Amino acid sequence: MTWPNTLLSYRRWLILCWHIVLLAIAYYVSFLLRFDFLVGRQMHLLFLETLPLLLLIKIPILALSGLLRGWWRYAGLADLQDIIKASAASSVVVFVVTQVFFPQSGFPRSVLLIDLLLTICTLGGIRLSVRIYQETSGKHVPRKNTLIVGAGQAGGKIAWELKSNSQLDLNPIGYVDDDETKQNLKIHGVRVLGKIADAPRLVERHQARCLLIAMPSVNGDTLRSIVEQCGKCNVEMKILPSIGDRINGAAAVSKVRSVRIEDLLGRRAVSLDLATIRQRLTNKVLLITGAGGSIGSELARQLAEFHPRKLVLFERAENELHKIDIELHTEHPELQYVPVVGDILDVQTLREVIAEYRPQSIFHAAAYKHVPMMERNCFQAIVNNVFGTYNVALVANQYDVEDFLMISSDKAVNPTNIMGVTKRVAELVILGLQTAHTRFVSVRFGNVLGSSGSVLPLFEQQLARGGPLTVTHPEARRYFMTIPEAVQLVLQASTMGKGGEIFVLDMGTPVLIAELAKNLIRLSGLDPERSVRIVYTGLRPGEKLFEELKLDGEGIKPTSHPKIRVLDGGPVDFSKVTRWLEELSALVETKSVFGLVHKLQEIVPEYTPSQELLTLCQFDRHDFFSAYRRAQLDLLHTTGLESPAVPNSPHAA
């Protein structure tokens, strides 16, 4: 055993002896100061007579206060408060005892007052010295000069933590803050150097390599302004997330992360009626279709937090299902969940799964969603998004599922592409399926950041290759929200539906795609004007310059949640739905683009086909009518509630 380990084994005795020595020295110095360092023989004898009594009083009080244990290297304000309390209490006891046992000794009362002050300074000072030594000695890691934006409570806490821990790689050189009263002040030894607008100049002057934004309540406009001003400084940008995004309210270096695009949206944390959601979901059997997708997998994560009795994950992509399977197994080992490899076009598998597990609620997130891809594969979009939705919804109704919620899209409003119009038809289909058994509702929202195939991952890939970043049009705008926020609001909306509603999520303000690209470049420490080019490629087939969230004829109303509005979907005759599906099935059989577009415009009058589809229509227009008539003759019967498969469709069971 080495000598440091030997000392540690006697640590408590060493601390006790050290306190006895310090207290004795402080007591003797009190006599020296009281008598101007001319202590007579009588006072020396009084010191020696009262010292054992003083130690017998002070040591137990210090022990009861917890000051004879713990590591001095971690001493802080709480320890100083304990020292003051224990010293004051012991001084009072010593005074009382000396008056009782030494009434005629002429004991100088001022000695006890001086001793009180010296004891606090001595015990506090030795702890502070040990802490300073620990923080300034040892192995240092290379540290980056860091400018902290925000000199409030959070910024001060971060600066203190960075200064007190030499192992952290950030060195706080100053704050910037717009509060006039804080200018030139020092907070935890770090000076406020200027206002936020001065950040680029200060970064250059002090050769800062990191900008740390410690403003938990910063809005998106301010954050975008900071990123835009400092984006040309080739500086790393980090942020302390808002309190709503943290597990608890504490500001700490461990919670600091790089600034992300979603931070620039400035969307506030979602407030949920957790009690109502928990009542609806806890101890229930829940089923998610498309459980491996961006929305489906996030639904699985958030639903797991409400402790369902069983969670059924229905997904046809084995790899994606495997990913969420592993994640749930790791993060929620207590969760009862069932991963099912299955296709919503496979009616028999749907029936078997729903019959076996009997879910009370179904969250239907399975869909083809990529606009240009679906323009080139319009028949597959119809089969999956329309017939697939019909299959799941009808089987849900057959087995008395309580709630059926479909994830829709803002592209269903005045659609200009196949993906959008199929989502609108799917909305109409489930509006026509309203029954006493199952409540059918839809939730409509726009783009989510970070979903597979969305613009942000594409930009990140292009940026990793050094650019250029491709944007369709300088004026193209989209609504954006984060995947967790969208799913939180979906869960809230699921508690509101009585059947027949289309819920619309508050997407905030549309964002310029070009500005999104520029901000991503700035967050990478590059200059969008010089370092990485942005190339405009033109709108792709079926794309709009901007998206909408409601039709002109739809009446939109507020709900109990400020971020959720509701549209009255209106009744849809089920016989009309079955006729649409029969005709769409025949058109899929004939592979006639012209007939398909014609029928979709009849079902959704506000649908405007893309030029690419109109061009395809010209090629098969002459052959359409005869083929369509032949297909109609092949129809055997009209689909009713008892059968979820459209006759002669590619997905028929």
How far, in Å, are 29, 52, 53, 276 from residue 108 at the CA level?
Answer: 14, 17, 16, 70
> Is 448:489 a contact under the CB 8 Å cutoff?
no
Q: 501: which DSSP letter?
A: E
Instruction: Look at residue 329 in the predicted model and tell me its pLDDT.
Output: 94
444 vs 144, 236, 430, CA distance in Å? 45, 37, 14
Please determine, for residue 163, whether its predicted confidence score (pLDDT) is greater than 80.
no
* Confidence band, pLDDT 50/70/90 cuts, at residue 27: confident
Q: What is the pTM of this model?
A: 0.67
Helices (H), ranges, 282-343:
294-304, 318-331
**In the chain, what is the straight-line distance between the N-terminal and C-terminal CA atoms, in Å?**
76
At residue 515, the pLDDT reads 83
To the nearest 10°, report the CA torsion of 441, 445, 450, 456: 150
- Comparing 564 with 5, which gets the higher pLDDT? 564
Q: What is the CA radius of gyration of the chain?
A: 36
pLDDT given for residue 76 in this prediction: 63
Residue range 442-447: average pLDDT?
A: 85
Query: Is the pLDDT assigned to residue 637 strictly greater than 50?
Result: no
Is the per-residue pLDDT at 384 higher than 90? yes
C-alpha dist (Å) from residue 608 to 11, 373, 376, 421 = 81, 17, 16, 9
Report which of residues 289 and 168 the model is more confident about: 289
CA 383 – CA 88 distance, rounded (Å): 82
Query: If you average pLDDT over residues 282-308, what whole number do you get?
Result: 94
Per-residue pLDDT at 212 exceeds 70? yes
Dihedral of CA atoms 19, 25, 26, 27 in degrees, nearest 10, equals: 110
Which fold is adopted by the domain 274-568?
Answer: Rossmann fold (3.40.50)
DSSP state of 549: S
Query: Residue 631: which H helix or E strand, with range?
Result: helix 611-633
Q: Is 232 exposed, middle or buried (0-12, 13-18, 19+ CB in 10 A)?
A: middle
The residue among 196 and 547 whose pLDDT is bigger is 196
Q: 251: how many CB neighbours lie within 10 A of its CB? A: 22
Mean pLDDT over residues 632-643, rounded?
44
For 465-477, what is the mean pLDDT?
86
Count how many residues are written for the chain. Answer: 653
* 163 or 502, which is more confident: 502
Q: Is pLDDT of 642 > 60?
A: no
Please state the rounded mean pLDDT for residues 352-372.
94
378 is written with which tokens? 């319009």
Nearest-5° Cα angle at 59, 58 to 60? 95
Report the range of poorest mean pLDDT among 170-179, 289-298, 451-460, 581-590.
451-460
Average pLDDT over residues 425-447: 87
Which DSSP letter does residue 568 get? Answer: E
For 326-341, what is each residue's pLDDT tens digit?
999 999 999 999 999 9
For residue 622, pLDDT over 50 is answered with no
- Cross-strand pairs, 535: 470
Question: Tens digits of per-residue pLDDT, 42-65?
Answer: 787 888 888 888 888 888 888 887
Burial 387-406 (b: 16+ CB within 10 A, else e): bbbbbbbbbbbbbebebbbb
> What is the spatial distance between Cα 361 and Cα 358, in angstroms, rounded to a whole number?
9
Higher pLDDT, 163 or 474: 474
- Strands annotated E in 195-283: 210-213, 236-239, 257-258
DSSP 3-state of 434: coil
Please name the residue that has the structure tokens 């979906």.
490
Using CA atoms, how far apart are residues 144 and 146, in angstroms rounded to an integer? 6
Mean pLDDT of 205-218: 82
From the list 534, 509, 536, 508, the residue with the least C-alpha distance to 522 is 534
* Contact assessment for residue 500 and residue 561, using Cβ atoms and an 8 Å cutoff: no
> pLDDT, tens digit, for every residue of 66-125?
777 655 665 666 777 888 888 888 888 888 887 777 666 667 778 888 888 988 888 877
Answer whether residue 497 shows pLDDT above 90: no
Q: Which residues are catalytic?
A: 411
In this model, does residue 244 exceed pLDDT 70?
no
In degrees and rounded to multiples of 5, residue 512 shows phi and psi of -70, 125
pLDDT band (50, 70, 90) for residue 138: low
Those residues with Cβ within 8 angstroms of residue 112's Cβ, 6 or more apart along the chain or in another chain: 30, 91, 94, 95, 98
- Which pair of tokens denotes residue 8? 């540690």
In 3-state terms the chain splits into helix, strand, coil percentages (rounded to 5) of 50, 15, 35
Bridge partners (DSSP) of residue 564 are 505
Q: Which residues, in sequence order, are CB contacts of 229 under 8 Å at separation 6+?
A: 197, 199, 200
Q: What is the pLDDT of residue 554?
A: 56
DSSP 384: I
pLDDT tens digits, one per residue of 251-282: 556 667 777 776 766 556 566 778 888 999 99
Asked if residues 176 and 198 have their Cβ atoms less than 8 Å apart, the reply is yes
Residue range 144-259, CATH number? 3.40.50.720
Q: Predicted confidence band at 158 (pLDDT cuts at 50, 70, 90)? A: confident
